[in-house]
């Protein structure tokens, strides 16, 4: 029989999908109502959506969640202390999760962006000293890359782990493929599906729906090379911009006149950029359209697309289920006291290809950094020749080459003399 766990601020349930492979998860405790229908349908559980003070006692040994991280993220709506930083308003989710879980569950794990360990360090220290420490918990800071699990994005995330000090918590690294996963590995099989445009406020969407772009964006992506965004196009090939966007570039007051949320074309032979709130503007590696909801869901490793409002937001604000499964396995090893007296911290050094660490017996906190423990090799022979040629000789790169040939080369100072 599986041990019991409870999700807290998991929203659409990406974390839960992974944890359910290891634990019995019957409930998620929520307060914002975001992604509830998706979680209930995808995970076959009951979401209790209410004020934190009204959350019931839920039986279990392990609590997990992915509370809002916008207060730490570099992609944020503002930088005043209420919108960004360790005491921003959004961190109320973290407080609610930790205050509810401390003393109830033997081990607690929640996810955030890696900046939580820097921007949010004062909050982490507060949780250690004021919430968990007095109740005899220790803390582990775990840094993980979804690429370690064969996911086609280098999604680097931070996990706060609080565990009762009567047992030791350590981690067992996953078995990695020496080759990194690419967009080809993730979604090439979906390329011939019939797709349709969709406006993000519309609830009438399906697996093959993609975000409708502006007329200027649609024109620009016809000439957008793999790996390029509008800012890079402005720097290297402003002739490819539409008149409206060329004016924006020519009158810029910074090197980034186009939003960090602007369109960017992906590449069959590279990982996807890390999926975030602007993933609806990630352009297909070969087709002149954004990625569909289904393609984004597939890259993230979800078993289905969401239900309800903001489907792409539901996907990208979660975690990769395989990462969730691995963390649940580490929690189970702790609960089973599999580590005995072993107590250490460790980080992977990609230069020496070794794990470096130390004994942490008696320490109240420790770190495990697996961020660079990922496949780094690329083998062209693993991919069909037509795909390789498509990337090498695509019309985008040909257009760029032609543009460079047509440009007048400036006379060098040496030739002028």
CATH of the domain at 173: 3.40.50.150
Task: Give domain status of residue 74, yes or no.
Answer: yes
**Tens digit of each residue's pLDDT (9 = 90 or more) over 70-80:** 888 765 555 66
Task: Give domain status of residue 414, yes or no.
Answer: no
pLDDT category, 401, cuts 50, 70, 90? Answer: low
Do 265 and 386 lie in a common domain?
yes
Do 142 and 62 lie in a common domain?
yes
Task: Give domain status of residue 374, yes or no.
Answer: no
Q: For residue 65, what pLDDT is reported?
A: 98
Do 26 and 74 lie in a common domain?
yes
pTM here?
0.92
Do 112 and 192 lie in a common domain?
no
Task: Give domain status of residue 237, yes or no.
Answer: yes
Written as six digits, the tokens of 135 are: 């109740």
H helix or E strand, kind and range, residue 332: helix 321-335
Do 158 and 243 lie in a common domain?
no
**Tens digit of each residue's pLDDT (9 = 90 or more) over 145-190:** 999 999 999 999 999 999 999 999 999 999 999 999 999 999 999 9
Distances (CA, A) of 146 to 154, 163, 190, 217, 331: 6, 23, 22, 30, 18
Do 277 and 352 lie in a common domain?
no
Q: How many domains does the chain have?
A: 2
What is the greatest pairwise CA distance in the chain?
A: 84
**Tens digit of each residue's pLDDT (9 = 90 or more) over 327-347:** 999 999 999 999 999 999 999
Written as six digits, the tokens of 362 are: 């008696």
pLDDT category, 412, cuts 50, 70, 90? Answer: very low
Whether residue 406 has pLDDT greater than 90: no
**Tens digit of each residue's pLDDT (9 = 90 or more) over 357-389:** 999 999 999 999 999 999 999 988 889 998 888
Whether residue 400 has pLDDT greater than 80: no
d(CA 282, CA 210): 10
Task: Give domain status of residue 416, yes or no.
Answer: no
Written as six digits, the tokens of 357 are: 């660490």
Do 73 and 216 lie in a common domain?
no
Task: Give domain status of residue 243, yes or no.
Answer: yes
Do 34 and 10 lie in a common domain?
yes
Listing DSSP states for 147-192 in one string gives GGGT-SB--EEEEEEEEETTS-----PPP--SBPP-HHHHHGGGTT
Task: Give domain status of residue 377, yes or no.
Answer: no
Written as six digits, the tokens of 227 are: 């790996």
Do 364 and 244 lie in a common domain?
no
Do 188 and 289 lie in a common domain?
yes
Do 193 and 214 lie in a common domain?
yes
| Residue with the two structure tokens 């289905």 | 304
Q: What is the DSSP letter of 317?
A: T
pLDDT category, 416, cuts 50, 70, 90? Answer: very low
Query: Which CATH number characterizes residue 208's domain?
Result: 3.90.120
Do 115 and 250 lie in a common domain?
no
Q: For residue 386, what pLDDT is reported?
A: 87
Domain residues for 48? 4-178+320-369
């Amino acid at each position: 029989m599986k041990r019991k766990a409870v999700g807290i601020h998991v929203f659409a349930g990406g974390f839960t999908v992974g944890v359910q492979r290891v634990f019995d998860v019957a409930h998620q405790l929520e307060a914002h109502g975001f992604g509830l229908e998706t979680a209930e349908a995808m995970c076959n559980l009951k979401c209790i959506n209410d004020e934190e003070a009204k959350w019931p006692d839920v039986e279990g040994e392990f609590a997990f969640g992915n509370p809002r991280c916008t207060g730490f993220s570099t992609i944020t709506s503002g930088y005043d202390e209420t919108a960004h930083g360790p005491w921003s308003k959004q961190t109320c989710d973290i407080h609610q999760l930790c205050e509810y879980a401390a003393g109830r569950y033997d081990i607690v794990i929640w996810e955030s962006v890696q900046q939580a360990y820097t921007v949010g360090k004062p909050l982490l220290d507060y949780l250690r000293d004021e919430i968990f420490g007095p109740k005899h918990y220790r803390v582990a800071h775990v840094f993980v890359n979804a690429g370690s699990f064969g996911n086609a994005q280098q999604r680097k995330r931070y996990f706060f782990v609080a565990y009762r000090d009567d047992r030791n918590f350590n981690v067992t690294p996953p078995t990695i493929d020496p080759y990194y996963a690419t967009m080809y590995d993730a979604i090439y099989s979906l390329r011939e599906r019939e797709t349709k445009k969709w406006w993000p406020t519309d609830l009438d969407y399906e697996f093959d729906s993609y975000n409708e772009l502006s007329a200027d964006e649609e024109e620009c992506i016809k000439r957008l090379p793999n790996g390029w965004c509008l800012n890079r196009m402005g720097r290297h090939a402003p002739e490819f911009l539409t008149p409206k966007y060329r004016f924006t570039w020519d009158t810029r007051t910074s090197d980034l006149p186009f939003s960090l949320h602007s369109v960017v074309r992906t590449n069959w032979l590279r990982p996807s950029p890390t999926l975030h709130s602007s993933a609806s503007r990630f352009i297909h590696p070969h087709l002149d359209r954004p990625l569909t909801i289904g393609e984004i869901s597939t890259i993230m490793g979800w078993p289905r697309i969401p239900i309800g409002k903001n489907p792409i937001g539901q996907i990208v604000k979660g975690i990769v289920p395989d990462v969730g499964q691995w963390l649940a396995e580490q929690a189970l090893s702790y609960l089973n006291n599999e580590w005995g007296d072993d107590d250490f911290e460790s980080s992977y050094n990609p230069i020496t290809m070794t794990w470096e660490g130390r004994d942490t017996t008696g320490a109240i906190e420790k770190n495990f950094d697996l961020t660079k423990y990922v496949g780094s090799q690329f083998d062209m022979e693993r991919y069909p020749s037509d795909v390789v040629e498509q990337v090498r000789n695509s019309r985008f790169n040909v257009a760029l080459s032609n543009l460079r040939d047509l440009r007048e080369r400036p006379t060098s100072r040496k030739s002028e003399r």
